[in-house]
């Protein structure tokens, strides 16, 4: 409910959200052995200048062109995955390289990093993101400052239609279109005498599930606030495309509202009360929204998603500061200031005459409006009845106290979806993804199980 009053400050934030481990390793080398692992790497030239010791790969001294390539070749195996190569590198001078198909010598094109002395100024060294074609020459060259003698994290992401380059976790360049490129080896090359050190090199295949796992963080910020940032520094568009979607939105489902049958604020455009569970807002908008905005129905689109995708775009925009309708673009953000949106926010500050519980999650939306509900991003939260309308934690209400004194929510993404939420989604034609299949025992069943264990332990003790 995008209701009438903002209040409060952030009191607590989720602690369960962190970047997930990369799920499918294709190559991992920490250079722990006494020599180069022949199962992972093949020397191309200059093998006398390549050494492994104490967990570090060293490419140093003469001759020039000390080059190793991976034994394996890599490429995205489908339109729904991407390949990411990462290395922790100490650069020491010109022409030290890392990436796929270095110098374009292993295929029609290569995309890789290449260091360059004093490229940015007389005293500033750089590492360049390069896309190089043997036929077309240099297709991309984007330098960024790098310090010789210090560790840098270099990452090349090979998506089905583009390539991203990141240095120390920050995207410095992208290139597209990339398509129809055959598999390529990972190369670590040092084409000059200054030392290049590598502590770790790895390649992973990453899926859409990897991109959204643990990617939603919810907190109290003058209401309930959540943010979705795709993992691995992908943009919203890149993540959506990988999952086969056009964009993302939120589903906000009211799962408890004792006053829904009698409270006018819940009524739809026809004056009818909804039946719990139901989507918030109701398709077309609540009656109070049209009245407050002074507009005829509909004042919202007919889709089930929380952020309005249509009516705020064609003249039904209310005056600034009165957020009774919201367009999707209002809550997408370029948080890294790199020219592409990478954050989608959810915000709701409801105030209701009785206790209301919400079940909220990220959804992927196709171009035709059809959506998929990602259960592994779900969180449940509530608002307390009364003048304070506090957001409260559903699992931390002290009996006999005033609900809402403890601020926060319950993350439920690792739990099976409640039956009423599942029934609503299925009846509405909304697909469900990442829903754990394990059943949650009813309280009575759980109590009987505990009593059975206690009795069994007592019988065992007596038998002794």
- The tens digit of pLDDT for each residue in 36-52 reads 999 999 999 999 999 99
* Whether residues 117 and 146 fall in one domain: yes
pLDDT > 70? residue 179 = yes
Distances (CA, A) of 173 to 141, 144, 234, 345: 9, 10, 12, 25
- Taking a C-beta distance cutoff of 8 angstroms, is the pair 230, 239 a contact? yes
Question: Which H/E stretch holds residue 458?
Answer: helix 443-463
Answer whether residue 464 is part of any domain.
no
- With 0-12 / 13-18 / 19 or more C-beta atoms within 10 angstroms meaning exposed / middle / buried, residue 121 is exposed
CA distance linking residue 93 with residue 126, whole number of Å:
9
Q: Is residue 255 part of a domain?
A: yes
Instruction: Give the least confident one: 50-59, 63-72, 351-360, 396-405.
Output: 396-405
Domain annotation covers residue 77: yes
Q: Are residues 299 and 343 in the same domain?
A: yes
Residue 346 makes CB contacts below 8 A (sequence gap 6+) with 218, 224, 225, 226, 227, 228, 250, 252, 306, 307, 331, 360
Tell me the residue length of the chain: 464
The verdict on 183 and 251 lying in the same domain is no
Q: E strands, 75-215, where?
A: 81-90, 96-100, 109-121, 124-133, 137-145, 151-158, 163-167, 170-175, 184-190, 196-207
Domain end position, chosen among 185, 206, 227: 206
Phi, psi for residue 462 in degrees, rounded to 5: -65, -35
Last residue of some domain: 154, 184, 206? 206
Do 150 and 127 lie in one domain? The reply is: yes
Residue 234 pLDDT > 90, yes or no?
yes
- Do 202 and 154 share a structural domain? yes
Q: What would the two tokens of residue 306 be?
A: 């929380």
- pLDDT at position 327: 55
How many folded domains does the chain comprise? Answer: 2
Distances (CA, A) of 337 to 129, 171, 203, 283: 19, 10, 27, 34
225 shares a domain with 147: no
Convert the pLDDT of each residue in 239-270 to its tens digit.
999 999 999 999 999 999 988 999 888 999 89
Q: Is residue 239 part of a domain?
A: yes
| 359/421 Cα distance (integer angstroms) | 8
431: pLDDT strictly greater than 90: yes
Domain co-membership, 175 together with 249: no
Whether 81 has a pLDDT exceeding 90, the answer reads yes
Q: Residue 138: which CATH number?
A: 2.60.120.200
Please give the helix or strand (H or E) that residue 289 lies within, else none: helix 287-293
- 3-class state of residue 457 by DSSP: helix
In a domain, 107, yes or no: yes
| 199 shares its domain with 247 | no
Among 114-128, 198-212, 361-375, the minimum mean pLDDT is found in 114-128
Phi, psi of 191 (to 5 degrees): -95, 10
| The predicted structure's pLDDT at residue 329 | 61
DSSP state of 245: -
Residues 305 and 191 in one domain: no
Q: Are residues 233 and 271 in the same domain?
A: yes
Answer yes or no: is pLDDT of 313 > 60: no
- Name the pTM for this structure: 0.82
133-178: pLDDT as tens digits? 988 899 999 999 999 999 999 999 999 999 999 999 999 999 998 8
Cα separation, 244 vs 80, in Å, equals: 7
SS3 content of the chain, % helix, strand, coil (to 5): 15, 35, 45
Same domain, 265 and 300: yes
Q: Please give the sequence-ordered ranges of beta strands (E in DSSP) within 349-386, or none if there are none.
A: 356-365, 371-374, 379-383
Burial 237-274 (b: 16+ CB within 10 A, else e): bbbbbbbebebbbbbbbbbbbebbeebebbbbbeeebb
Q: How confident is the model at residue 406 (pLDDT cuts 50, 70, 90)?
A: very low
Query: What range does the domain containing 313 cover?
Result: 213-444
pLDDT of residue 200: 96
Tokens of 249: 């939105």
Which of 173, 206, 239 is the endpoint of a domain? 206
- What pLDDT shows up at residue 21? 54
The candidate with the shortest Cα–Cα distance to 277, out of 349, 373, 405, 365, is 373
Quick check: 185 and 26 in contact, CB under 8 A? no
Query: How far, in Å, CA of 251 to CA of 281, rounded?
Result: 9
Contacts of 281 (CB under 8 A, 6+ apart): 1, 2, 289, 300, 306
State both tokens at 5. Answer: 């009053």
pLDDT value, residue 24: 85
- Listed as own residue / partner, the contacts of 307-312 with beta carbons closer than 8 Å and 24 or more positions apart are 307/249, 307/250, 307/331, 307/346, 309/249, 309/365, 309/369
- pLDDT > 90 fraction of the chain, expressed in percent and rounded: 55
pLDDT at residue 401 in the model: 33
Residue 323 confidence class, pLDDT cut points 50, 70, 90:
very low
Are 403 and 317 part of one and the same domain?
yes
Q: How far apart are CA 451 and CA 218, in angstroms?
A: 37
- How many Cα atoms occupy the beta-carbon half-sphere of 240 within 13 Å? 20
User: Within a domain: residue 462?
Assistant: no
Strands laid side by side in the 216-220 sheet: 216-220, 224-228, 343-348, 332-333
In a domain, 305, yes or no: yes
CA distance 313 to 304: 17
Q: How far apart are CA 245 and CA 413, in angstroms?
A: 21
Any domain includes 463? no
């Amino acid at each position: 409910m995008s209701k009438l009053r903002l209040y409060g400050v952030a009191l607590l934030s989720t602690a369960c959200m962190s970047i997930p481990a990369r799920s499918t390793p294709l190559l991992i080398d920490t250079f722990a052995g006494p020599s180069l692992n022949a199962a992972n790497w093949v020397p191309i030239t200059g093998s006398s200048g390549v050494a492994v010791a104490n967990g570090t790969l060293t490419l140093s001294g003469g001759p020039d062109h000390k080059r190793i390539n991976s034994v394996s070749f890599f490429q995205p195996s489908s339109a729904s995955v991407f390949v990411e190569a990462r290395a922790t590198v100490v650069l020491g001078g010109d022409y030290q390289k890392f990436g796929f198909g270095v110098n374009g010598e292993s295929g029609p094109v290569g995309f890789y990093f290449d260091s360059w002395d004093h490229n940015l100024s007389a005293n500033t060294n750089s590492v360049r993101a390069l896309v190089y074609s043997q036929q077309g020459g240099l297709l991309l060259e984007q330098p960024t400052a790098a310090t010789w003698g210090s560790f840098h994290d270099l990452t090349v992401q090979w998506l089905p239609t583009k390539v991203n380059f990141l240095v120390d976790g920050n995207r410095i360049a992208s290139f597209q279109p990339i398509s129809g490129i055959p598999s390529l080896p990972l190369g670590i090359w040092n084409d000059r005498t200054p030392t290049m050190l590598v502590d770790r090199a790895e390649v992973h295949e990453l899926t859409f599930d990897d991109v959204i796992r643990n990617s939603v963080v919810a907190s109290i910020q003058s209401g309930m606030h959540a943010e979705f940032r795709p993992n691995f520094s992908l943009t919203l568009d890149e993540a959506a495309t990988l999952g086969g979607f056009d964009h993302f939105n939120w589903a906000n489902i009211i799962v408890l509202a004792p006053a829904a049958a009698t409270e006018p604020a819940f009524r739809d455009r026809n004056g009818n009360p909804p039946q719990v569970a139901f989507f918030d807002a109701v398709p077309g908008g609540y009656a109070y929204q049209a009245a407050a905005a002074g507009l005829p129905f509909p004042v919202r689109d007919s889709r089930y998603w929380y952020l309005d995708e249509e009516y705020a775009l064609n003249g039904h925009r209310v005056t600034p500061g009165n957020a009774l309708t919201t367009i999707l673009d209002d809550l997408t953000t370029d948080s890294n200031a790199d020219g592409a949106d990478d954050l989608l926010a959810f915000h709701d500050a409801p105030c209701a005459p009785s206790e209301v519980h919400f079940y909220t999650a990220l959804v992927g939306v196709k171009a035709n409006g059809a959506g998929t509900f990602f259960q592994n991003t779900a969180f449940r939260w509530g608002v307390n009845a009364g003048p304070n309308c506090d957001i409260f934690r559903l699992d931390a209400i002290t009996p006999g106290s005033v609900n809402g004194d403890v601020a926060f929510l319950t993350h439920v993404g690792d739990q099976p979806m409640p039956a009423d939420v599942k029934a609503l989604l299925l009846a509405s034609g909304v697909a469900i993804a990442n829903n754990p299949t394990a059943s949650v025992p009813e309280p009575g069943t759980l109590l009987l199980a505990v009593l059975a264990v206690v009795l069994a332990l007592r019988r065992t003790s007596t038998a002794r």
